[in-house]
Chains A and B, each alone.
Chain A
């Protein structure tokens, strides 16, 4: 029995009985851990405890939500259809950049099309879907590992093109020597090149509380209460946005993808994953299915990118390096490819424990050491730490290097999972691809309502 099996066995049956309960339990546990840890850190540093706790929970909720969204989108490709798409970062980039360019003012630098933001978002999703459809063409004829190389190559091509100063749109004077605005049928725009581009909104949830001139009625109440508790307004807006992502968008993705999965369409996808020739021999034109799946999945990845990287007010091409794709893949594999609930669980476990966990642990170690020995000695580099022959200096160097050690840890987790539990936490579950309960043989009656 592997470590993963034991961990799963340790989860109380109460939580395993129902997916909502499982996810809620997982989130609750995460919040308790992070709440206690950040309260402790705030106490050590004499900071406002309420502000620290809410801030920590808001930021972890945000990360959980965005990784869950992208893992869900990837699950459609990899989990259901077996399409090994490792170009996710590229599709996110297309979404974010398309939205930013469509929404940017024509007079800005780089210039854009000046469309209203909602129109820009819809336009961006359509563009991502089209790019996804084009990317599907290799998927029609390539094996999984070749498709992996093609998609990661495509995602790098997208990043490099966005990074190129040639399309940046930073020199808008046609007479100037470095003129680099893209001009298509008289419509001019630019990507911002290596300097990046502004996204239409930073802190999208602020609109709930603030108007251009002052506060909304809700804002007066909430900001007032937050102020009394010592919580900053940016923490309130960030927290609200995270909550909207988690409760609104993750739920919407989940419902949409469950409907896709639990239908004859999803059945064909599963068949493509298992053995495409069988599906074809039974009369399914699998190529059409693959193109549709690529378009829908890529649009969802684009939207995930918009909700995530598009929410900071600014983005640059290097945000979309292949490492982002590997994060999302790890999240899905941890949760269990093939299961939508697994995707959400994977997003949560990945964000809370693999991605943010090491930093949190390092923070705790620093704080505890501070209490026990005063501050940890800090070594400028590995050599200095090594020759100091002082365990505390070693510890200090470890803590300082946690941002790098995190990747070593991630890599080890990936290898461990592949060797011992390739199905992830929940991949072993039977999720039947049908819109009705197949075991139930009621011909008419309430069988029709068993939708999910």
Chain B
């Protein structure tokens, strides 16, 4: 008996939730005057709801099918798993997307899929969803397509024509990890596919000599994801991979997804999932690189075991380990150095730089920028404040660590 649409939506969204990305950002486009159709794009993306796991719902994130010929140990859809299998038709995916969109539940669609029959067949069906949404239904909302690495180039080309973002997951932080858990996948192929996407994305951004606009190709760029804590990779391994990925393939984002228990899990997986705070620290490190001018290498440089400190945010940990560079004079320091002060972000740094052209910065000015004085005070000098020996105190780090909690006896 065929399952109802609701029952299949349950299965195919449940199976899609292990992809962390839900971003609808990176593209803004105004409809041209007189252009018809439903939808628009907000350049910073919009999250329409949040679930109690702290993740946002921006896109309708579903699989086309959870049948899959691959047997990747970490994946809920691997062929050896005994979960319930089902699929959507192209028309059903389009219908749900449009009806959800009209009610303002979502920004668009993030379509992924298990691989059925062949890479090309699967990719072709996914491209058909995007093509019909755009051409038949004049849909202007966000479309993110997961790309099947081995799919034929003309399918990738067409996917980029209709999708705003494409992504290929590297899955594991190291090639060895991938080889161990996903024997049918090839880390080299995945990198080559990402490289090919980068070339196409860049090509679509250049105007040719004749000034003609090149063919559209995934204006929202590409992203990827790796699973944290399923193999033994250290945070250093992970961040090194991120550095290579960001620099090599012009990725908008690298997502870190803490390995999480799945139904009918493979016995090859660790029984324990890693603490969610590890994932959080990795995102913070990633943020430091993308917005604060750090390099991945220096963030973990002084960590002997190659793991980020779980108790301290990595920017604070870095500052505590590089105290010779502090305190920083807020009235004189460069933007680059101000961005390295724990507690200051791009917005407060911008405000300080602008304000100090007109008046001397005092401690109360810093407080007015909603900066945590407790955090920032040991690291800064203002016209009325000098941390003097505070920065050199041995127990400074301890002051920032969470207070030990007394164990309850019963």
Q: Is this pair of chains taken from one and the same complex? A: no
Chain B interface residues toward A at CB < 8 A = none
Chain A interface residues toward B at CB < 8 A = none
